[in-house]
Structure 1
Amino acid sequence: MASAVKDSRPGYGQLLRTPGAWTFLLPGFLARQPFAMLTIGIVLLVESTTGSYGTAGTVSAATGVSMALFAPQGGKLADRFGQRAVLIPGVLVHVAGVTALITLALAHAPLWALLAVAVPTGASTPQVGPMVRARWASRLGGSPLMPTAAAFESVTDEFTFVVGPVLATALCTGIHPAAGLIAEAALTLAGGLLFASQRRSQPPVHRAGAGDRPRVSALSVPGVRVLIVAFLGIGAVFGGMQVSLTAFTQDIGQPGINGVLYGIFAGGNMLAGIACGAIAWKVGPRRRLLVAYGLLALATTPLWAVTAVPLLGAVGLVVGLCIAPALITGYTLVESLVPAAARTEAFTWLTGAVALGQAAAATSAGQLADGFGPSTGFLVPLAGTALALVVLVALRAHLRPRSSTVVASQGDATVSPAAADDRERELTSA
């Protein structure tokens, strides 16, 4: 199969003809829509009831931190017991948490009460994106279609970040401050349960037997730890942009344009993701990641100095165009660095890192916006990506997979030794 795939150029059409792909793609698309609505919905609701972006960012940050800490544990459980066993109770707890958060916010509860509810709400956020990526990795193995699948998933994620914030903002500003979170809970319940019902496409369960070697955590792989730092910086861009754009548009008296500006930013990300999946790359993923990340850090530099809405939209578009290549390449590297038995956990570590970076950035940007003006919040994406770039460059050697890791990873799929050798050469060419 691998040789047959290699004879033709990998592309979206070929990817979508993968047997059984549509059985999890459509439910997964619906189930991940609420993910992009949660933090912006919290910011808009809490700010409307407290009048403070700092408080709103703190509550949003608590949600993101708990998500980042608990998501990898959920991924580990999904690898061991199956995605359905983790997803169904998680969906129910999450919906209950969002309902409680809405109730407390509207009742003007103190900050400690909002934080107490925000923690389980974030911890139970369904990690549908990593689960879909794990299903692709299970079906494609060492196929050259894996980078295309990573690009396709990035495009899908970014489409949700185009639709989600715009929808949440429109509901919160046009109907009621709580309407965005109400829609998030309803979509989570319907989409999560539908995705959980697709049992045939979920990856095999990797339960340890009596004679098996101890299970290795994805976090023990040095390359995964380097990618986590990189994804923390990407999360800083998302969180800093969300809060800073909200504060900026409120300050100029045009709150309704917030969703449009964030949609432009996310739209650039989506367009770049489409392009990345259509390109037959001749440069190794490690080098692609370093170049893309350097461009991302450079693109965030002028954000804090922009005061005109059209120019801010243009700069945000450029920042979005630079994010997708870094995200896609990072997710692609997981397939070569981590064995199949820990891939869902690895994907959730990266998704959790984005959430943690987003949470920290939301808090920092909110405090800066409250204390020094809305434009200062845009310094957070610059600082986050610059620091992560330094770490990425310094530890780039850990992103080159060892021969044993590649063979072990591809041993989970039916591929020939020649295909495995070709795959290793491609991955180590950076």
Structure 2
Amino acid sequence: MTSAVTTDKSVRPGYGQLLRTPGALSFVLPGFAARLPFGMLTISILLLVQHATGSYGDAGIVSAVTGVSMALFAPVMGKLTDRRGQSAVLVPVVLAHATAVSTLTALALLGAPLWALALAAVPAGASVPQVGPMVRTRWAAKLEGSPLLPTAAAFESVTDEFTFVVGPVLATALCTGVHPAAGLATEAALTLLGGLFFAAQRSTEPKTAPQAAHGEKHASALSFPGLRVLIVAFLGIGAVFGGMQVSLTAFASEIGNPGANGLLYGVFAAGNMIAGITMGAVAWKIGPRRRLILGYVGLTVAASVLWAVNSAVLMGAVGLVVGLCIAPALITGYTMIEQLVPAASRTEAFTWLTGAVAFGQAVAVIVAGRLTDAHGSSYGFLVPLGATALALATLVALRAKLAPKAPSRVVNSSAPAATTAEPAGREHANERGIGHRTPVTVD
């Protein structure tokens, strides 16, 4: 499953080369089909519950319960996946999700009380299949030590952002143009079919318990301090998404143009996608730890301007810059998992990061909503600023914990004894994500 790369010239980091990786398309395409519904779920719940109850407040509560439930249960699903295998977990999960969403839909259409809808939202969120982390784990298994690994992380980030842009648009069109329940029905169907198709791609599925082959003891992903630092950092990114959603909506209303909300958020998301595409096509000369900190510096500086903007054009420009700064931080954080967490725990690690984004988003929606209601959108925009500033402070203070670990296993047992002094050099090479024969400068 591992693709060995010995020099930085053997593989050029680019999307074309990435997608030509043997077996890649067999999990990339069904993985995308199974992830598209992720961006449809909460907005579909929001629109259906609002239609059924007539209350945006009730709809927001049910949507928030769904998001928090997903964030809390995602790492559990990741740990089970590392131990049991992707297919063994994914098949029952997508079946459970389709059942849970169907139950929530039926309750909403039957006029069930808020407490019943909130209760039904728990399994609907908890059973969201973690296909994104599973795809990232397959990339990490196939590209370990390859310069294409940062490209794969960028590709996955762009794919995620695409689902966040297309999913809500599709769900809104279905709920408003077809039937209020059409969004959730489509979400459940796509999750079920895409998930089963992805699970059927067994040839690219990472082996379970790789620690048995290398004499490593399985450990929870949270036992690795670098992941804990990244979780705090990703909470900040989630807060940017949540704070921007609420505050941009309020800002558009305040300037007398509510319809501009969709365009403004689209520009923000486009910035993220543009930066993500660019990130995957660049061979970086600085290490991922430094890139991560610089990404958060840029994100914090950009977010610090939002509260003072008073025109749609300027907000679009600033929002674009904020989006451009998210991708470097997000992509680099995902890339560092390969260095900080062993293969036996990577799916769990990826789900912790995905859950951190979702949890940060849910909390930011609540906090920014209250601040916006009380004081206006300017105060809502303080949420992304405060969250990213705290994340940056954490990264700077604990940056030593993000250093890549020296390999704990022998890669080639037939190598001459003279190679025993190599791990330190390989650790430095891994800091740039390239082959160990290339001289590098690390941070």
TM-score by length of 1: 0.90
- The one-letter code of the counterpart of 1:180 is G
Is the 1:165–1:262 Cα contact (8 Å) retained in structure 2? no
Aligned residues: 427
1:37 & 1:252 partners in 2: Cα distance?
28
1:75 & 1:31 partners in 2: Cα distance?
16
2:201 is paired with a residue whose SS is coil
- The one-letter code of the counterpart of 1:387 is L
2:314 & 2:104 partners in 1: Cα distance?
36
Change (3 A) 1:106 1:262: farther
1:200 & 1:135 partners in 2: Cα distance?
10
Aligned to 1:39: 42
1:28-427 equivalence runs, <5 A = 28-50=31-53, 53-206=56-209, 214-249=217-252, 257-403=260-406, 406-408=407-409, 411=411, 423-427=426-430
Q: Deviations over 1:88-119 (max 9, x none)?
A: 11112212222233333344433322221111
1:149 & 1:413 partners in 2: Cα distance?
29
Q: Deviations over 1:58-101 (max 9, x none)?
A: 32222222112111111111111111111111112212222233
Deviation at 1:17, TM superposition (A): 1.4
2:40 is paired with a residue whose SS is helix
Is the 1:52–1:370 Cα contact (8 Å) retained in structure 2? no
Q: Which has the higher mean CA deviation after the structures are superposed, 78-87 or 241-250?
A: 241-250
Q: Which has the higher mean CA deviation after the structures are superposed, 222-231 or 69-78?
A: 69-78
- The one-letter code of the counterpart of 2:160 is D
Q: Deviations over 1:331-356 (max 9, x none)?
A: 11100011111111111111111111
- The one-letter code of the counterpart of 1:61 is A
Change (3 A) 1:222 1:147: same
Deviation at 1:395, TM superposition (A): 0.9
Is the 1:166–1:259 Cα contact (8 Å) retained in structure 2? no
Deviation at 1:36, TM superposition (A): 1.5
Q: Which has the higher mean CA deviation after the structures are superposed, 113-122 or 333-342?
A: 113-122
Deviation at 1:256, TM superposition (A): 5.3
TM-score by length of 2: 0.87
Q: Give the unaligned 5+ runs of structure 1.
A: none
Q: Deviations over 1:157-204 (max 9, x none)?
A: 111122122222333344444433333222212211111111111111
Q: Deviations over 1:208-238 (max 9, x none)?
A: 87x9765201100000000000111111111
RMSD (CA atoms)? 2.9
- The one-letter code of the counterpart of 1:341 is A
2:414 & 2:295 partners in 1: Cα distance?
32
2:55 & 2:377 partners in 1: Cα distance?
12
2:415 & 2:279 partners in 1: Cα distance?
25
2:9 & 2:16 partners in 1: Cα distance?
15
Q: Deviations over 1:101-142 (max 9, x none)?
A: 333334443332222111111111011110000001111111
2:262 & 2:309 partners in 1: Cα distance?
18
Aligned to 2:21: 18
- The one-letter code of the counterpart of 1:270 is M
1:204 & 1:67 partners in 2: Cα distance?
25
Q: Which has the higher mean CA deviation after the structures are superposed, 239-248 or 326-335?
A: 239-248
1:101 & 1:372 partners in 2: Cα distance?
34
Higher alpha-carbon Rg: 2
Q: Deviations over 1:358-411 (max 9, x none)?
A: 1111222233344444554333222221221211111111001222xx444x95
1:167 & 1:249 partners in 2: Cα distance?
22
Is the 2:239–2:364 Cα contact (8 Å) retained in structure 1? yes
Deviation at 1:329, TM superposition (A): 0.4
Deviation at 1:320, TM superposition (A): 1.0
Is the 1:304–1:376 Cα contact (8 Å) retained in structure 2? yes
Q: Which has the higher mean CA deviation after the structures are superposed, 124-133 or 380-389?
A: 380-389
Change (3 A) 1:422 1:27: farther
Is the 1:80–1:207 Cα contact (8 Å) retained in structure 2? no
Is the 1:42–1:56 Cα contact (8 Å) retained in structure 2? yes
